[in-house]
């Protein structure tokens, strides 16, 4: 799809949740490069301002910042305010929180927060911005899921479960909203070299890593083509192994061995 037809289909504004760094910042840049104005949300205002300034200067688009906590109880009010003001044609539900370690050794609040950011906020984004998209008969929603959502994984059990939610939710919406001209895709990324990933991965994980830019590009290219994407051939190969070859129990054991090596 050319930039012009992309902007016609998914513009004029895109909302990127979790845009202050990593994959969210890469999505924002890729969308601005296609001529969409970008609304950037995350908690760190300074990082959002810096990215917005760069995108205005280098991509020639409008960029607005929304310093907000996606786990806040008044999230829907904030999103509705924006939806009333701006014609948002594309949403990237990218922010996530991942409690790491034995489930019982983390405070319950950490797991609630993962549900709030990864599940509750994703539902809110899809509902608030999805309604006007359906009414317009066009639009797009990218939900950042993860290969962690394919199978349960030790030390990431609540995070992995929220990522499974994102994938299954996107599949249902792909069918429902697709009928109204709104494209939905779950991007099930594998290891991606973002600041968040690098900060918690102290040594080489031994699994192939992708750049955030490559994952963002592949995810946007998948819109309108399929409900679920595994970016990169190596991820597709290990996804096929996990889903079609290995018995579920063995897949969980092998994945958990990796997370124990990384985070144990
Ligand atoms: N990196 C990987 O290897 C990988 C692999 C598979 C899937 N994914 C998925 O890809 C997405 C992005 O990953 P990433 O590695 O780029 O993550 P990251 O580096 O940890 O960045 C997450 C983004 O979300 C924002 N965020 C987190 N909590 C928030 C909250 N409560 N309210 C508002 N914003 C919040 C952060 O900004 P602030 O801190 O400024 O709020 C940041 O911009 C996630 O959904 C993740 O599950 C990543």
pLDDT tens-digit readout, 143-172: 999 999 999 999 999 999 999 999 999 999
- Predicted confidence at residue 263, as pLDDT, reads 86
Q: Which residues contact 146 (CB under 8 A, 6 or more apart)?
A: 160, 163, 166, 188, 189, 190
**What's the Cα-to-Cα distance from 46 to each of 40, 70, 142, 190, rounded to whole Å?**
12, 17, 25, 28
Q: Which residue minimizes the CA distance to atom 19 of ligand 1?
A: 196
CB 230 within 8 A of CB 188: yes
- Band of residue 201 on the pLDDT scale cut at 50, 70, 90: confident
Ligand 1: which of 15, 16, 19, 23 to mutate, most ligand atoms within 8 Å of CB? 23
Query: How far apart are the two ends of the chain, measured CA to CA in Å?
Result: 44
Nearest to 46 by CA among 6, 15, 16, 19: 19
Burial of 56 (0-12, 13-18, 19+ CB in 10 A): middle
For 19-30, write each residue's pLDDT tens digit. Answer: 999 999 999 999
Ligand 1: which of 22, 29, 68 to mutate, most ligand atoms within 8 Å of CB? 22
Give me the mean pLDDT over the 132-137 stretch: 98
Long-range contact list for 179-182, CB < 8 A, 24+ apart?
180/133, 180/134, 180/137, 181/134, 181/136, 181/137, 181/138, 181/139, 182/130, 182/133, 182/134, 182/137, 182/138, 182/139, 182/140, 182/141
Residue 67 and residue 51: Cα distance in Å, rounded? 13
For tokens 């899809």, the residue is 126
- Predicted confidence at residue 202, as pLDDT, reads 66
Residues with CB under 6 A from ligand 1: 18-24, 42-44, 47, 69-71, 94-97, 117, 144, 146, 189, 191-192, 194-197
Ligand 1 atom at minimum distance from 21 CA: 43
Ligand 1 atom at minimum distance from 144 CA: 45
- Predicted confidence at residue 15, as pLDDT, reads 98
Q: Is a pLDDT exceeding 80 seen at residue 204?
A: no
| H or E, element range at 137 | none
Q: How far is the CA of 41 from the centre of ligand 1 (A)?
A: 11
Residue 212 and residue 198: Cα distance in Å, rounded? 12
Residue 127 and residue 144: Cα distance in Å, rounded? 16
| Token output for 164 | 């499974």
- Predicted confidence at residue 207, as pLDDT, reads 74
- Partners of 183 in beta bridges: 140
- Band of residue 203 on the pLDDT scale cut at 50, 70, 90: low
Ligand 1 atom at minimum distance from 93 CA: 45
List domains and CATH numbers for the chain: 3-263 (3.40.50.720)
For 7, the 3-state DSSP assignment is helix
């Amino acid at each position: 799809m050319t930039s012009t037809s992309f902007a016609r289909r998914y513009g004029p504004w895109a909302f990127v949740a979790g845009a202050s760094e990593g994959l969210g910042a890469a999505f924002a840049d890729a969308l601005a490069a296609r001529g969409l104005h970008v609304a950037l949300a995350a908690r760190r205002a300074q990082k959002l301002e810096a990215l917005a300034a760069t995108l205005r200067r280098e991509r020639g688009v409008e960029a607005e910042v929304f310093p907000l906590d996606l786990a806040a109880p008044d999230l829907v009010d904030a999103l509705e305010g924006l939806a009333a003001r701006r014609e948002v044609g594309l949403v990237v539900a990218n922010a996530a929180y991942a409690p790491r370690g034995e489930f019982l050794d983390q405070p319950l609040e950490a797991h609630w927060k993962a549900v709030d950011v990864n599940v509750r906020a994703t539902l809110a984004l899809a509902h608030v911005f999805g309604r006007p998209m359906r009414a317009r008969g066009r639009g797009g929603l990218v939900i950042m899921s993860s290969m962690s959502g394919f199978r349960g994984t030790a030390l990431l059990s609540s995070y992995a479960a929220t990522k499974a939610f994102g994938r299954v939710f996107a599949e249902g919406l792909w069918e429902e909203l697709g009928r109204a001209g709104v494209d939905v895709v779950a991007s099930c990324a594998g290891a991606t070299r973002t600041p968040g990933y690098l900060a918690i991965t102290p040594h080489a994980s031994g699994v192939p890593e992708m750049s955030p830019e490559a994952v963002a590009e592949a995810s946007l290219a998948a819109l309108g083509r399929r409900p679920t994407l595994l970016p990169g051939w190596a991820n597709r190969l290990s996804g096929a192994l996990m889903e079609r070859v290995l018995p579920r129990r063995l897949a969980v054991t092998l994945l958990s061995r990796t997370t124990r090596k990384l985070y144990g």
